[in-house]
Amino acid sequence: MTENSTAAPRRIVGLGGTFRQASSSERIVRAVLAECAAMGAETVMFDGPALAALPHFNPEQAERTAEELALVEAVRMADGIVIGSPGYHGGYSGLVKNAIDLLEDLRGDARVYFDGRPVGLVVTAAGWQACGTTLSALRDVVHAMRGWPTPVGVGVNSVEQRPFAPDGSLIDEAVARAVRAQAEQIMGFRVEARA
Ligand SMILES: Cc1cc2nc3c(=O)[nH]c(=O)nc-3n(C[C@H](O)[C@H](O)[C@H](O)COP(=O)(O)O)c2cc1C
Query: How many domains, in total, are found in the chain?
Result: 1
At 3 the pLDDT is 47
> Is the CB of 18 within 6 Å of ligand 1?
yes
Q: Which of 87, 74, 153 is nearest to 114 (CA)?
A: 74
Contact status, residue 120 vs residue 182, Cβ threshold 8 Å: yes
Please tell me the distance between residue 125's alpha carbon and the centre of ligand 1 in angstroms.
Answer: 5
> Is the CB of 158 within 6 Å of ligand 1?
yes
> Is the CB of 157 within 6 Å of ligand 1?
no
- Looking at the chain, list the stretches that DSSP marks H as alpha helix, in order from N- to C-terminal side: 24-38, 48-52, 66-77, 94-102, 128-144, 173-187
At 8 the pLDDT is 86
CA dist 40 and 48 (Å) reads 25
The CATH number linked to 61 is 3.40.50.360
CA dist 24 and 17 (Å) reads 7
Please tell me the distance between residue 163's alpha carbon and the centre of ligand 1 in angstroms.
Answer: 16
Q: Which domain holds residue 38?
A: 11-187
Residue 193 lies in a domain: no
pLDDT digits (tens, 9 = 90+) for 79-92: 999 999 999 999 99
Which residue lies with its CA nearest to atom 8 of ligand 1? Answer: 89
- What's the alpha-carbon Rg for the chain, to the nearest Å? 16
Q: How far is CA 153 from CA 27, 76, 103, in A?
A: 15, 22, 21
At 2 the pLDDT is 42
Ligand 1, atom nearest to 124 Cα: 21
The residue ranking higher by pLDDT, 184 or 190, is 184
Residue 4 lies in a domain: no
Ligand 1, atom nearest to 157 Cα: 21
Cα-to-chain-centroid distance, residue 57: 19
pLDDT digits (tens, 9 = 90+) for 33-82: 999 999 999 999 999 999 999 999 999 999 999 999 999 999 999 999 99
Residue 83 lies in a domain: yes
Which letter does DSSP use for residue 1 in this model? -
Residue 6 lies in a domain: no
